[in-house]
Amino acid sequence: MRLPYPSDISRERFEPIRERLESVKKKSTDFDLYDAFCAVLYIIKEGVSWPSLPHDFPKWREVYAYYSAWTSRVGGEPSILEKAIQSLPESERKDMHKRLRRRR
């Protein structure tokens, strides 16, 4: 169990977007997808490099693999990550889209 970070969303807010994120399932993992998603939110909000991801999150390379898959666009459509962030309440997604665009 890891400590919560200010960038985390609640598990209740995560459950409605879990299926969307699982649609780009990577190889079998030994961590909860919730933790990978919260790690991506941490990277976006804090603006740190991938190797600087705190060690209580899943390994940064595994999180980055999900991030890369989640940010892929097909046919000009918003990415899966953009759609997931858009579905969060405005108070939680404030500035996330802008920061996400800067990370590409």
**pLDDT tens digit sequence for 30-43:** 889 999 999 999 99
DSSP string for the chain: -PPP-TT---HHHHHHHHHHHHTT--S--SS-HHHHHHHHHHHHHH---GGGS-TTSSPHHHHHHHHHHHT--STTPPPHHHHHHHTS-HHHHTTHHHHHHHH-
Q: Dump pLDDT digits (tens) for 75-91.
A: 888 899 988 888 888 87
Question: Which token pair is 41?
Answer: 């939110």
pTM comes to: 0.85
Cα(59)–Cα(68) distance, rounded to whole angstroms?
Answer: 14
